[in-house]
Amino acid sequence: MAENGDSETMSDLERKVCQQIEYYFGDHNLPRDKFLQEKIKLDEGWIPLEIIIKFNRLNRLTKDFDTIVGALRKSKAGLMEVSEDNTKIRRSPNKPLPEVTEQYKNAVKSRSVYIKGFPLDASLDDIKEWLDNKGKVENIQMRRTLQKAFKGSVFAVFDTVESAKQFVEIPGQKYNDTELIVLFKDDYFTKKNEEKKQNRLEAKAKAKQEKEEKQKQAEDAEMKSLEEKQGCLLKFSGDLEDQTSREDLHAVFSDHGEIKWIDFVRGAKEGIILFKSSAKEALSKAQEANDGNLQLRAKDVAWEVLEGDTAKEALKKIMEGQQELLNKKKGRGRKGKGGKGARGAQDKKVKFLGKKTKFESDDEVEGEDDGMTGPASPKKRPLEDTEQEEPAPKQLKTENGAGDQE
């Protein structure tokens, strides 16, 4: 076999070919590329060039085996090997994949940078071209919504913490005259969490304000209702018979005024009647119909039209009674519909059997669905799955290009 590493000068095409293939077999893509993972098990890691050229991004660069082999032989990365017959390539066994531990993921995160401000129609190639000569970038993650729309921001992984720091410290970075937001990934998530906390506090304050406003509106409506019902209340009292009922009151006033509510319990010695309109007029008509001697069950009764604060207090009590009765009716309705079966259903515990995933942010992240013209593979899962804000949707294609897992 022939290893790469020749010091010849690369053409622009050869450089792009190397970047693309070294991305496919690199630390970021290979562990999550199920298609390549299956293929490298078949022949000691060797992948035929016939398969590699079906990867879309490489396919758009070149389909020529000689160009690919020549480019890899000139690469100084030492990552790839070319077979003796120039028909297959593989990742060098001397460059094993790193173990994906928490320490490794934290190390990757420490050299990851958040960049926001790109046009929503920007392509991966546009962003790669802009990042060219700004430090060695190992991976670009285009951040997308669940509908796969680009959000205008990316996570870029640099080769070292130092190169990432140098990039972040460049002042006034722009893309096509648009000023960019540039932060370390950790700083971005810290800022995001602070914004969420502030949003929760503001939402809580807004909800409290809305509740207070609704309460005030309810109080104002109640006061208006009380004002409108002034003169509609008639109090009665006396040595009433214990059997005196609301039906007796309805019988007395049925032809003289429409009764809306009676605040009275059997056995009491006094109560209040709420008329739809003037209580004074209803009382006058009833008295006139009874020769001025208006009684209940042959008992003398004192009648008084309530006004002012006394009327307001009485009205409040009546309105509370009306609401209490309404709540009781609603409760009976729910009980009648649900019955024992409904209660049993409520008591039944439902267990969630799925795995709950905790994400670092609510933003969705997806890989760019670049695809290939040949066999398809399942989705690629990012190494830093704890950093993804939403599970990426199922991806059926095998490649994302050099750094185009977004």
DSSP string for 341-382: HHHHHHHS-----SPP---S-SS--------BSS----PPPP
Q: What would the two tokens of residue 101 be? A: 């531990």
Strand partners, 372: 55
Report whether pLDDT(200) > 70.
yes
Q: According to the model, what pLDDT value does residue 226 have? A: 63
The alpha carbon of residue 45 and the mean position of all alpha carbons in its chain are separated, in whole angstroms, by 42
| CB 387 within 8 Å of CB 351 | no
Report whether pLDDT(155) > 60.
yes
Q: What would the two tokens of residue 171 be? A: 């002042």
Mean pLDDT of 236-259: 93
DSSP code of 168? H
How does strand 150-158 pair with strand 137-144?
antiparallel
Strand partners, 295: 300
Contacts of 34 (CB under 8 A, 6+ apart): 377, 378, 379, 380, 398
Among 138-142, 240-244, 275-279, 326-330, the least confident range: 326-330
Q: According to the model, what pLDDT value does residue 248 have? A: 94
Mean pLDDT of 180-189: 92
Alpha helices in 28-143 (DSSP H): 34-39, 49-52, 56-61, 65-74, 102-110, 124-131
Report whether pLDDT(86) > 70.
yes
Average pLDDT, the chain: 80
Among 72-76, 113-117, 119-123, 373-377, the least confident range: 373-377
What is the rounded CA–CA span in Å between residue 137 and residue 406? 12
| CB 274 within 8 Å of CB 260 | yes
Segment 286-301, tens digit of pLDDT: 999 999 999 999 999 9
Choose among 76, 71, 60, 31: nearest CA to 125. Answer: 60
Report whether pLDDT(235) > 90.
yes
* pLDDT level of residue 377 (50, 70, 90 thresholds): very low
How does strand 270-275 pair with strand 181-184?
unpaired
Mean pLDDT of 125-145: 89
Q: How far is CA 182 from CA 88, 179, 194, 381, in A?
A: 40, 10, 17, 25
Mean pLDDT of 153-176: 92
